[in-house]
């Protein structure tokens, strides 16, 4: 029914209507998010309340003594209910949660009250099962009554009807409730980044309902829609491997009221699919400012969890002095503690390297840090130009606390980007250094995204550009840039590779058009890159799932493409990308105008 995964915090959203989670109850294996900061949950209180409930015959009285702050702790209440279930005391959970609901009918309490009835279904008579299921649905209906777009409540309501024997004819209401859950996701998905994959379960269950209604074509189409939206969820692929004639029996074997039903709500804050890895194979640091270019060591970004295509996150992780340690910290030759020199924790999932400046005078430890709005978490998404964007808070540590540079909401991008002027020049002040190594301000820092080696895995070039702040003890105000060649183990279809490569080509064309009068030589170089990427996109498009109209547009694009052609290509991208599982976000990391200007 539900599933486990790796823990990840999620902020409140209409799809779940969860409140902030407090540290009152919890499971030691979980990491609970409090306003973005991760703390370890206290298992002692959980065990104590479970023991008291097990030993005491008056769960209603114990509910009156339960801490008020725990009544909105969804993770803690879920863990408490599951512990009672594991101890064979599920019958105690229902009166306990009912009494809690009388005190405060929070979403956290009502969801667990509803599932406390489901926990008792197995082994009961049909009459008792029907009574328990009806009461469970009445409970989530209370949530829906006050929050009509509560995805989790509709999902649980649908699942309550999915497990009944066929002759009860419950598959139709299951279908109707789960259709509403999927519709809620469709309506509200544009409002969030869609980093998690919980909503794939709505498509899975809805397809199961159609299978039980003996509509195999609709079931298959529903599972395909779920896989398009959440391409990394293996259970959807497993369903699609079932022959149409076997769907009903196969789903019924998995959805059986007389078998143990997993009611763990952990899927709301955890991830069901396996994480991916980005391998940094090389790169160059330009500058900062007047300093020479230098090569960057290989590195990597681990534990990338993806929800919808290329939208996801890397969680904050720090194990202090314990191995493995980040090479950048080790090479500074100081105490190994997982911290920057000012005590800020580094995210040890991220190894972006070490830089030695001025003949070793400054040895920079580069890190994503838990000091800023992202609290060490790294976000990945496609921006409004279909460029892969990485947003986090970064720290640049020269080895002493006063010299640490921090930049919040920093972005890496696979789009080509223009190197900015120094802060001094931008403000009209003298003394600015308007270059980063060999790249002059106004020049383009390269970027790429797609599948350049045609191996079915995402790869490209990401870049970072920025400026040291005025108060930096190292080269204040100067621009810097870096490029990173990368490959991944993230699967990508030929159609997606074609579209993402085309988007990158069009960004180069846009820059070329902007520069063709002021700097024709640079514009020519950018057009050359456009033509190279366009040819790669055409190769990917051959035999792909792209529409005939998209293929014709790709074929018609030529080396002399103008602003009108660019507009037509962007219009095609907006139509084709969603049909191939690519969702953009209203965020512009590149600074490139994507509006049509004919």
CA distance to 179, 208, 236, 259, per residue, from 174 (Å): 8, 9, 18, 18
Is the backbone of residue 435 left (phi > 0), alpha (psi -120 to 50) or beta?
beta
Select the more confidently predicted residue: 42 or 489: 489
Inter-helix orientation angle 107-118/90-103, to 10°:
150
User: At 158, is the pLDDT very low, low, confident or very high (cuts 50, 70, 90)?
Assistant: very high
Q: What is the average pLDDT value for the chain, to the nearest integer?
A: 88
The runs of H, that is alpha helices, within 314-422 are 327-331
Structure tokens at 531: 């033509």
The CATH classification number of 6-271 equals 1.25.40.10
Q: Are 75 and 27 in contact (CB under 8 A)?
A: yes
pLDDT of residue 596: 65
Percent of the chain with pLDDT over 90: 69
Q: Give the pLDDT mean for 182-190.
A: 85
pLDDT of residue 43: 58
Domain limits, the chain:
6-271, 276-491, 494-579
Above 70 in pLDDT, residue 6?
no
Number of Cβ within a 10 Å radius of residue 457: 15
Three state DSSP letters for 454-477: CCCEEEEEEEEEEECCCCCCCCCC
Q: What DSSP line would sit under 85-105, residue for residue? A: HHTT-HHHHHHHHHHHHHH--
**Tens digits of per-residue pLDDT, 88-105?**
888 899 999 999 999 999
Three state DSSP letters for 175-224: HHHHHHHHHHHHHHHHHCCCCCCCCHHHHHHHHHHHHHCCCHHHHHHHHH
**Rounded CA separation 311/388 (Å):** 9
For residue 396, give the nearest of 335, 352, 359, 435 by alpha carbon: 352
Structure tokens at 134: 């009806």
Q: Per mean pLDDT, which range of 93-107, 190-204, 410-424 is the poorest?
A: 190-204
Q: Which of helix, strand or coil describes residue 554?
A: helix
Q: Are 540 and 498 in contact (CB under 8 A)?
A: yes
Q: What DSSP line would sit under 213-271, residue for residue? A: TT-HHHHHHHHHHHHHHSTT-HHHHHHHTS-GGGHHHHHHHHS-TTS-----GGGGTEE
CA distance to 11, 294, 462, 506, per residue, from 416 (Å): 32, 20, 9, 10
Q: Give the pLDDT mean for 263-283.
A: 92
pTM score of the predicted model = 0.86
For residue 370, give the nearest of 397, 408, 400, 398 by alpha carbon: 408
pLDDT of residue 559: 85
**Rounded CA separation 256/531 (Å):** 57
Q: Give the pLDDT mean for 540-550.
A: 92
pLDDT of residue 16: 37
Number of Cβ within a 10 Å radius of residue 295: 9
Q: Are 346 and 368 in contact (CB under 8 A)?
A: yes
**Tens digits of per-residue pLDDT, 14-38?**
333 332 222 233 222 222 222 222 2
Is the backbone of residue 244 left (phi > 0), alpha (psi -120 to 50) or beta?
alpha
**Tens digits of per-residue pLDDT, 520-536?**
999 999 999 999 999 99
Above 80 in pLDDT, residue 9?
no
Contacts with 344 (C-beta within 8 Å, 6 or more apart), sequence order:
369, 370, 371, 395, 404, 406
**Tens digits of per-residue pLDDT, 303-354?**
999 999 999 999 999 999 999 899 999 988 889 999 999 999 999 999 987 8
Structure tokens at 27: 């499971």
């Amino acid at each position: 029914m539900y599933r486990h995964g790796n823990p990840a915090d999620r902020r409140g959203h209409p799809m779940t209507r969860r409140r902030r989670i407090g540290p009152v109850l919890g499971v030691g294996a979980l990491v609970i998010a409090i306003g973005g900061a991760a703390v370890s949950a206290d298992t002692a209180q959980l065990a104590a309340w479970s023991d008291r409930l097990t030993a005491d015959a008056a769960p209603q009285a114990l509910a009156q003594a339960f801490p008020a702050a725990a009544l909105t702790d969804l993770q803690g209440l879920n863990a408490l209910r599951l512990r009672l279930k594991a101890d064979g005391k599920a019958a105690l959970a229902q009166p306990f949660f009912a009494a809690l609901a009388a005190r405060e009918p929070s979403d956290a309490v009502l969801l667990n009250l509803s599932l406390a009835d489901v926990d008792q279904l197995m082994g009961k008579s049909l009459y008792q099962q029907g009574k328990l299921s009806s009461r469970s649905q009445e409970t989530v209906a209370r949530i829906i009554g006050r929050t009509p777009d509560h995805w989790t409540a509709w999902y649980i309501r649908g699942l309550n009807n999915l497990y009944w024997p066929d002759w009860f004819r419950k598959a139709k209401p299951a279908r109707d409730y789960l259709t509403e859950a999927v519709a809620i996701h469709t309506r509200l998905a544009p409002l969030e980044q869609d980093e998690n994959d919980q909503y794939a379960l709505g498509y899975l269950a809805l397809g199961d309902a159609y299978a039980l209604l003996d509509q195999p074509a609709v079931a298959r189409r529903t599972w395909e829609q779920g896989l398009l939206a959440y391409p990394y969820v293996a259970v959807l692929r497993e369903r699609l491997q079932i022959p149409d004639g076997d769907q009903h029996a196969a789903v019924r074997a998995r959805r059986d009221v007389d078998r143990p039903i997993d009611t763990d709500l952990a899927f709301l804050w955890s991830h069901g699919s396996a994480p991916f890895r980005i391998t940094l194979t090389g790169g160059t640091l330009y500058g900062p400012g007047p300093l020479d270019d230098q090569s960057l060591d290989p590195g990597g970004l681990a534990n990338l969890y993806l929800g919808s295509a290329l939208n996801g996150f890397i969680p904050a992780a720090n194990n202090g002095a314990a191995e493995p340690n980040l090479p950048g910290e080790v090479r500074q030759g100081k105490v190994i503690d997982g911290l920057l020199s000012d005590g800020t924790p580094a995210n040890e999932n991220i190894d972006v390297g070490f830089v030695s400046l001025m003949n070793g005078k400054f040895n920079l430890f580069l890190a994503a840090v838990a000091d800023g709005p992202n609290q060490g978490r790294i976000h990945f998404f496609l921006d409004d130009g279909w460029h892969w964007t990485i947003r986090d808070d970064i720290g640049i540590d020269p080895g002493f606390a006063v010299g640490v540079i921090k930049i919040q909401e920093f972005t890496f991008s696979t789009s080509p980007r223009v190197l900015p002027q120094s802060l001094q020049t931008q403000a009209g002040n003298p003394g600015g250094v308007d270059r980063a190594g060999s790249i002059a301000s106004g020049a383009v820092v390269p970027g790429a995204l797609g599948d350049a080696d045609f191996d079915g895995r995402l790869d490209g070039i990401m870049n970072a550009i920025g400026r040291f702040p005025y108060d930096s003890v190292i080269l204040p105000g100067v621009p810097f840039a870096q490029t990173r060649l990368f490959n991944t183990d993230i699967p990508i279809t030929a159609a997606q590779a074609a579209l993402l490569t085309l988007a990158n080509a069009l960004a180069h064309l846009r820059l070329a058009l902007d520069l063709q009068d002021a700097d024709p030589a640079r514009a020519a170089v950018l057009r050359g890159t456009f033509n190279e990427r366009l040819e790669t996109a055409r190769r990917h498009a051959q035999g792909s799932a792209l529409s005939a109209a998209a293929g014709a547009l790709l074929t018609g694009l030529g080396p002399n493409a103008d602003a009108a052609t660019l507009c037509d290509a962007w219009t095609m991208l907006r139509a084709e990308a969603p049909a191939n599982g690519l969702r953009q976000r209203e965020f512009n990391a590149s600074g490139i105008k994507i509006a049509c200007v004919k």
